[in-house]
Amino acid sequence: MSKLNKKLLTIDRIFSSPSLEGTVMRSVKFSPTGKSVTFLQSKVGNKDQFDLWEYNIESAHKHLLVDSQILIPTGEKLSAEEKARRERQRTASLSGIIEYSWAKDGKQILFPLNGDLFVYNLETLKVLQITDSDDYDTDARFSPNGNYVSFIRNQNIYLVELEQNQVKQLTFDGEKTIKNGMAEFVAQEEMDRDTGYWWSDDDEKIAYIQVDESPVAITQRYEINAENIEIVKQRYPYTGEPNVIVKLVILNIKNMTAQPIDLGENNDIYLTRVQWLPNSQQLSYQVMSRNQQQMDLNFTDLKSNSHTVLKEKSKTWLNLHNDLFFLKDGSFIWASERDGFKHLYHYTNKGKRVTQLTQGNWIVDSIETINEDEKLLYFTASKKSATEKHLYSLNLSNNEVHQLTSKVGWHEITVDNTAQFYIDNWSNRDQPTHTSLHDITGKILTVLNDNTIDKNHPYYPYIDKHQKTEFGKLSSDDGHLLHYRLTKPLNFNPKKKYPVFHYTYGGPHAQVVTNSWGHFIDQYMAQQGFVVFALDNRGSARRGLTFESALYKHMGKVEIQDQLVGVEYLKTRTFIDTNKIGIFGWSYGGFMALKAMTKTNVFALGVAVAPVTDYKLYDTFYTERYMSTPQLNKLGYQKTAVFDDVKNIKKPLLVIHGMADDNVLFTNSTRLFKTLQDEGILFDSMIYPGAKHGISGEKPQKHVWKTISQYFIKHLK
């Protein structure tokens, strides 16, 4: 073995270019013709700047389509609205081309860049700029038949008529607190809905949401930068307080007539999903109650004649999904957790249940596509293991399920619109993301991106020090299985005692114990002589609603109980130094680290990044889903907040926060600082001027992870 591949990882190298992920195909899509695959790929010298590439399936040739650096050589300037949107999408650190879409005829590709819109023509091989404005254009897409490009500018909806290359404004009342076609804050941050408008398939109508933010109180938030302090007036919907008011409108772009849809007398609701039926004459929309325990799926015609097709109810909460699929006969496939696990159901167009299509103690992740002619539905799920993700086919005639992906690990799937092929982005803890093209039966046709760790791979110099990950299961106090992962230190000696880097997130809609690639911090800490441990407690994702809802109305209780199950397990391993178990978490994980330090005495130190310290300081949709409102659950909120118990902190504590965080507001940490100081509790802190929730950017990431890792090394080594 050469010296080249015996290097130790460093924090600087983990966050430098080229990426240790290797060559990764991001946002992979089939062309509408099925002849090629397009994707985004980062530059070798800048892992965070992306260009548009194409892979021709027939010729097996990969080539660059659009170089973002040539179009915008001086770099991007983002509007405040776009910065916030990217923060919500977790793409704030990325630049260049970060999203794109195909025209239906397969001849053009649309992408936004630096606030303007560009179209790449595959016949002329040229890029055409279709908007050029001092204002920022965002959320752009082709109309279904490719006649128009629509986008948002200055809180209104616009379109470009492509034949005439003319810009046309569609809505005119978007200003101040009124926003047309835009997703409100909680929709972007919590509902997985980052748009507010939808085209009908006939290219004639746009359904859009009009948001009125005036009921939401203005919060004066300080964004503390390195050179100045900005006072930002943000309408932040604190839990228990008023939300925005939403209206749903159908706009006919031919005659410019607008038809409001009657959403009922109660405007304290959430409009979570909107989707046209294939006939373009009916619109479906999903309305969720404020307490998130009831969801109505409604259909309306073009004259606002609405009716409820089905209702979902829960004693705790309902999770949102994107699995509504209409069939040719007007019936539809729908996902529900009514039996405790997310499964698929078939309904008539009147909302009468035909049959339950999938069942078992596992969950469907999402419908990928349906081939009605072959009566086959394709979906991804946790059926094999909760730590893995696989593609399955479902025979709609007899409900037989067949697993199509076979390699152990995590499979992210993209299926073409004819349901003949799929792209498999597969990885596991020892294999970086490998991309391959398959026919729909699972047969591999070609490897699009091998990404094997050979001598040309960026991770090759470190592969000899790569530590294997051990997976296992423990049992919670109520009998639920808890998945964990454990990575042993470099040069492991079973006779020695090692400190522990105990990583936690612990919150809903997230999973940290997955057999997937990319956990470089785990490898770094293992090379620093730590056992790295993580456990998915009750409340975490992909285990069913009963498993998730154990934390209902008392967040931070069962999660910590389960993490302590993990600690007790660690104590049974003879190589663990039980006096040197440190806990670290970010966001909800930061909250967990604080709860662990205030509610137990088993952790030798805690590091909390961007922690929620009091859920009364967090937003409506997320917090009320799990905690109800402060008015209805006063004691629950009081117990969930960390302040009453900070006097119990006896070990080293490091709190880290971005000083411009607009998600978990910096106030969470300043209140904690004051409480710790009043109690005479010594602690450490690191704050980042101008940083948002993710403290994104190469330099800040290097600094924050050096701060975290060195704190563990200083106190536990």
- 445: tokens are 């046709």
- 419: tokens are 């349901």
Same domain assignment for residues 149 and 233? no
| Averaged pLDDT, 106-118 | 94
Q: Which of 264, 268, 308 is nearest to 286 (CA)?
A: 308
- Give domain status of residue 460, yes or no: yes
Quick one: how far is CA 704 from the chain centroid?
22
Q: How far apart are CA 13 and CA 275, in angstroms?
A: 44
- 6: tokens are 């015996």
pLDDT digits (tens, 9 = 90+) for 153-194: 999 999 999 998 899 999 999 999 999 999 999 999 999 999
Could you say which of 301, 320, 339 is where a domain stops?
320
Same domain assignment for residues 461 and 481? no
Q: Which residues are catalytic?
A: 587, 661, 693
pLDDT of residue 417: 86
- 4 pLDDT band, cuts 50/70/90, is low
The CATH number covering residue 184 comes to 2.140.10.30
Q: Can you give the length of the chain in residues? A: 717
Bridge partner residues of 377 (DSSP): 370, 394
Could you say which of 265, 285, 320 is where a domain stops?
320
pLDDT of residue 51: 95
Between CA 175 and CA 365, with CA 620 as vertex, the angle to 5 degrees is 100
CA–CA distances in Å: residue 314 to residues 387, 466, 614, 621, 625: 26, 45, 26, 16, 11
Provide the mean pLDDT of the chain: 95
- Give domain status of residue 442, yes or no: no
Same domain assignment for residues 105 and 11? no
- Whether residue 27 contacts residue 414, with contact meaning beta carbons closer than 8 Å, is answered with no
Same domain assignment for residues 3 and 102? no
The CATH number covering residue 693 comes to 3.40.50.1820
Phi, then psi, of 270 in degrees rounded to 5: -115, 130
Q: Which helix (H) or strand (E) holds 409?
A: none
Q: How far apart are CA 556 and CA 502, in angstroms?
A: 17
| Long-range CB contacts for residues 92-95, cutoff 8 Å, separation at least 24 | 92/692, 92/694, 92/696, 93/48, 93/694, 93/696, 93/697, 93/698, 93/701, 94/48, 94/49, 94/50, 95/46, 95/48, 95/49, 95/50, 95/68
Sign of CA dihedral 589, 595, 600, 603: positive
Peptide bond into 18 cis (omega under 30): yes
For tokens 């948001």, name the residue. 211
What is the β-pairing status of strands 576-586 and 605-609?
Answer: parallel
Q: Which of 267, 268, 238 is nearest to 631 (CA)?
A: 238
pLDDT of residue 1: 44
Same domain assignment for residues 529 and 677? yes
Q: How far apart are CA 435 and CA 427, in angstroms?
A: 9
CA–CA distances in Å: residue 633 to residues 232, 620, 630: 30, 14, 5
Q: How far apart are CA 494 and CA 518, in angstroms?
A: 26
- Give domain status of residue 340, yes or no: no
The single-letter code of the amino acid at 186 is V
Could you say which of 136, 169, 202 is where a domain stops?
169
- 182: tokens are 């835009």
Same domain assignment for residues 521 and 611? yes
| Averaged pLDDT, 345-372 | 97
What is the β-pairing status of strands 178-180 and 166-169?
Answer: unpaired
Same domain assignment for residues 490 and 615? yes
Phi, then psi, of 247 in degrees rounded to 5: -120, 150
pLDDT of residue 355: 97
pLDDT of residue 2: 52
Same domain assignment for residues 268 and 315? yes
Q: How far apart are CA 63 and CA 52, in angstroms?
A: 9
Q: How far apart are CA 406 and CA 403, in angstroms?
A: 7
- Give domain status of residue 448, yes or no: no
CA dihedral (708, 712, 714, 717) in degrees, to 10, reads -150
How large is the C-alpha radius of gyration of the chain?
A: 26
- 234 pLDDT band, cuts 50/70/90, is confident
* DSSP designation for 164: T
- Give domain status of residue 429, yes or no: no
b/e code 344-362 from CB counts within 10 Å (16+ = b):
bbbbeeebeeeeebbeeeb
- Whether residue 24 contacts residue 433, with contact meaning beta carbons closer than 8 Å, is answered with yes
Between CA 48 and CA 140, with CA 143 as vertex, the angle to 5 degrees is 30
Task: With 0.85 as the threshold, say if the pTM is over it.
Answer: yes
Domain that holds residue 228: 170-320
- Give domain status of residue 347, yes or no: no
Same domain assignment for residues 540 and 600? yes
Q: What is the DSSP string of 492-524?
A: --TTS-EEEEEE----TT-----S-S--HHHHH
- Whether residue 646 contacts residue 217, with contact meaning beta carbons closer than 8 Å, is answered with no
How many domains are contained in the chain? 4
Same domain assignment for residues 7 and 34? no
Q: Is 423 helix (H, G, I), strand (E, B) or coil?
A: strand
Percent of all residues in the chain with a pLDDT value above 90, rounded to a whole number:
90
- Give domain status of residue 580, yes or no: yes
- Give domain status of residue 164, yes or no: yes
Quick one: how far is CA 378 from the chain centroid?
22
| Averaged pLDDT, 55-66 | 91
The CATH number covering residue 130 comes to 2.130.10.10
Q: How far apart are CA 540 and CA 549, in angstroms?
A: 9
Other CB atoms within 10 Å distance of the CB of residue 433: 23
Same domain assignment for residues 211 and 179? yes
What SS3 string covers 623-679? Answer: HHHHHCCCCCCHHHHHHHCCHHHHHHCCCCEEEEEECCCCCCCCHHHHHHHHHHHHC
Other CB atoms within 10 Å distance of the CB of residue 365: 23
For tokens 């960390």, name the residue. 642
Same domain assignment for residues 83 and 215? no
pLDDT of residue 3: 53
pLDDT of residue 6: 74
